[in-house]
A and B are shown apart, each in its own frame.
Chain A
Amino acid sequence: MLDGILTGLGTAVMPMNLLMVFVGCFVGTFIGMLPGLGPISAIALMIPITYGLEPSSGIILMAGVYYGAIFGGSTSSILINAPGCSSTVVTAFDGYPMAQKGQAGKALALAAYASFTGGTISAIFLLVAAPALASVSLSFQSADYFALMVLGLTAVAAFSGKGQVLKALLMTVLGLMISTVGTDRSTGVERFTFGYIDLMDGISFLLLAMATFALAEVVMAVLKRDHLKEEENQTDSSQIGSMAVTKEEVKEVAPTALRSSVLGFIVGVLPGAGATIAAFLAYGMERNLAKAKEKLKFGSGSLRGLVAPEAANNASSSGSFVPLLTLGIPGSGTTAIMLGALIAYGIQPGPRMMIDNPDVFWSVIVSMYIGNIVLLILNLPLIPYISKLLMIPRTVLVPMILFFAITGVYLVSFNTFDIYMMVVFCAAAIGLRMLNFPMAPLLLGFVLGGLMENNLRRALMISDGSLSFLWERPITLVIVCITVLVLAAPVIQRLLQKKRNQSAPDTEFSAVNNEKKA
């Protein structure tokens, strides 16, 4: 294996390949920043160019574009609340409030550091354990995916502030409902399409996210134009703020970045999940781990809430190379395109790839490590310039966001119906936002809903309709238990607190009492 790594290093540092890493990262970051244009569009754009390159260079270029786009996607999420791609939707939840508070510079810098951590940690994992991890990708069955999605749903707690629990739950249910639109895979029956053929393929996550975040955000900005308070905010948010991150802040977010990177990588390795799910799960996990006081900060500019999804989505995009390279299984649309490109080169990803094309296999992995450094060097100095975006007068910025958000969604499907649909969702989102309904749980319900349903249906079909699949396999059982724990934790906490409060005057008695209970 050391031989392989050295071969890879040798190939990866060839001037041509270094250039490809650089070009890939640059193009990826740039396209990723444009709202709505994500890694798929970026890679599709690169394909004709890669035909003329050596296999290693071509794949290195595409990989660079891929993680570059996810890296860059966070910028527009943070600055204008318009997610650059679906996996950076979660970044907007806390990143945008930070920018509004005049901490755009810090938010962008933290996002860059977090992405770097996620990317680097998973590149190291890939380097030392890619072949071994192949078995992890295959150990997950539909039942486990279902349990994982249910666990993910508990993240809804992260989005429900004080007095918002019911509203957050309602929005989650609405998200779950929207995810059922389209052809049902298990029966082939159309659901809630109202006879429109355009609804047959369901509603895309990106469309929903762009409509409820980017579009709704700019329209709200226009609607609130006259409010004096808003004017103050406007001047406030055009302050970029310092990029410097204090020691205490580093201390606060470092464990978050590490945890989220590991979680993101593992989710990325699973072919049935992906970077968006990873970001949601990491966000939910951080919220559940946070102390009561910090919990309140989530959604209004928590540093941990920003770092967690950023580290996770980058780690996950690198993680998805495990099933792609070692098994030949693409876990997402983006990796499916890359699989096609590899096959076009005459390279068959799979267990034999390490033996047949060690130079390609290892150089791609080594290049990811280099790529993450390039991204950091490329992005940090640019932050002061990029965040000037906020200084653009609103009269110019609003139409620009509208233009890019709509074009971005249109360029994925080339279907004008999608634009009408965006308008409808945007109008609904504005109404709901005015009534103080949070939008994030809607997206959470939507993104998990489809996967949850399909996996549940498969698991039920495989177990002949019996619910025994929930405890028959150790992986499923563990995930189910964690879910129960997460749900029960607040209740137990409250009970304990109550007891403590009751028996506060007489501590001795309470100790005895507790012992008796035990």
Chain B
Amino acid sequence: MKTPSTFARRTLLKMAAAIAFTGALSVPLSANAAQAQVDSIHFLVPGGAGGGWDGTARGTGEALKKSGLVKKVSFQNLSGGGGGKAIAYLIETAEQQKNTLMVNSTPIVIRSLTGVFPQSFRDLTPVAGTIADYGALVVRNNSPYKHWNDVVADFRESPRNVKFAGGSTRGSMDHLVPAAAIKEEGFDPRSLRYIAYDAGGKAMAGLLSGEADLLSTGLGEALEMAKAGQVRILATTAPKRTPDAPNVPTLKEMGNNTVFANWRGFFGAPGMSDSKRDELAKVLGDMYDTEAWETVRSRNGWVNDYKPASEFVSFLESQEEQVGSLMRELGFLK
């Protein structure tokens, strides 16, 4: 009988695979730091492996580790409730989360406004905003729209003429950006036709198939799409033209005052001491000058946008106000 031995071997193999697998997700990279500013940082990712939050946390962790700014980094994924699960977890276990940084982005503002989760950024300790992306409105190469004003003219004729596609649900960032732009032109944002797709890629397919006229997405993604050569970027919501896209006009320079930034940043547990917060914010700030960060940044096409502690908080407050008033007008909030 060779059953037992076969079985034992297989079990061992499976176990090894399982361990290797979980290991790759959570075990810190080997230590090689000389003078680290911070001993260890534990990154909490409110979404699954492979998403945007995951990439930001792991990229930042990799840069901090390789540059020797932090001795040890570890990661933990906890998805659910659009990030609400991780927020609740961070608050509940605040005592044990002295070195934890949770990654998040604009949706934390939107989702706490709409009541997806009861908490807001005020229940956490905002440490620093690190990177930003702007909204972009994209059209097919052969689209009759050459200028934002063409869209406005068509919209004036009838709001039914213009169909905006986006890779997320109604009331999400992809919806809010065109709604804000339309509102700036003096129209009722509720008359906007927004067609929601399951993901950015599918929204892009919708635009290219001709069933939608404009696509609302992030500038980073839009630039990649434009490089592929099938679409043009009509306008961005950046305050001024960005170095990565010097030829793309901003809405602002076309007389529409919509400015909208989708940030990504890090939060600590509630009750984090000011000194700890400043220490973490400083290490994130020092990261920008390292080669390791530049590698990660350029690999992902991120735009540096450092906002430490108090600056971060006031930015969050102003964004909350901007998004809140727009969502009230769209009827998402009462």
Contacts and interface: CB of A to CB of B under 8 A. Distances in A.
B50 A417 contact: no
Given A197-B116, A388-B6, A185 B169 contact: yes
Interface string A299-320: 0000000000000000000000
A188 B169 contact: yes
A28 interface: no
A272 B55 CA distance: 24
A198 B85 contact: yes
A462 B195 contact: yes
A400 B195 CA distance: 45
A329 B81 CA distance: 27
Q: Please indicate which of the listed interface residues B6, B82, B201, B224 has the most CB atoms of chain A within 10 Å of its own CB.
A: B201
Contacts of A34: 14, 17-18
Interface string B17-49: 110011011000000000000000000000011
B84 interface: yes
A389 interface: yes
A388 B3 CA distance: 8
A330 B229 CA distance: 16
A350 B229 contact: yes
Contacts of B230: 327, 350-351
For the residues of A in contact with B, the DSSP-based class is: helix
Interface string B210-239: 111000000000001101111000000000
A490 interface: no
A411 B22 contact: yes
Contact of A415 (B22, B80, B116, B301): B80
Nearest to B210: A141
A164 B198 CA distance: 34
Nearest to B88: A197
B137 interface: no
Interface stretch (A106-114, A117-125, A341-349, A441-449): A341-349
Contact of A333 (B14, B50, B195, B206): B50
B209 A138 contact: yes
A137 B205 contact: yes
A271 B225 contact: no
Given A45-B24, A350-B230, A400-B11, A392 B3 contact: yes
The size class of the interface chain B forms with chain A is 35 or more
A210 B161 CA distance: 45
B160 A464 contact: yes
B224 A328 contact: yes
A392 to B, nearest CB: 5
Given A138-B208, A331-B201, A351 B229 contact: yes
B122 interface: no
Contact of B208 (A327, A404, A454): A327
B204 interface: yes
A340 interface: yes
A41 B21 contact: yes
Interface string B270-309: 0000000000000000000000000000011100000000
B14 A404 contact: yes
B14 A200 contact: no
A44 B10 contact: no
Nearest to A392: B7
Interface string A185-206: 1111000000011101100000
B79 interface: yes
A348 B82 CA distance: 30
A482 interface: no
A509 interface: no
A142 B224 contact: no
Chain A interface extent, by class: 35 or more
A458 B6 contact: no
Contacts of B14: 34, 400, 404
A407 interface: yes
A139 interface: yes
Given A44-B49, A200-B116, A350-B230, A328 B211 contact: no
A337 interface: yes
Contact of A417 (B55, B80, B172): B80
A461 B204 CA distance: 17
B199 A340 contact: no
B50 A201 contact: no
**Taking each of A329, A348, A396, A411, which has the highest tally of chain B beta carbons within 10 Å of its own beta carbon?**
A329
Given A141-B206, A183-B169, A462-B211, A385 B6 contact: yes
Contact of A40 (B18, B50, B195): B50
Given A138-B209, A462-B195, A413 B48 contact: yes
A138 B82 contact: no
A499 interface: no
B193 interface: yes
B6 A197 contact: no
B102 interface: no
B99 interface: no
A30 interface: yes
Nearest to A187: B170
Nearest to B296: A344
A123 to B, nearest CB: 23
Contacts of A141: 206, 209-211
6 contacts: A40-B50, A138-B208, A330-B201, A349-B228, A404-B14, A458-B206
Given A331-B201, A413-B48, 14 more contacts: A45-B24, A142-B211, A185-B196, A188-B169, A188-B332, A271-B205, A336-B50, A348-B227, A352-B228, A388-B6, A404-B14, A413-B79, A415-B78, A464-B160
Report the 8 A-B pairs with minimum CB-CB distance, sorted nearest first. Answer: A350-B228, A197-B81, A188-B171, A188-B170, A414-B77, A185-B196, A415-B80, A330-B201
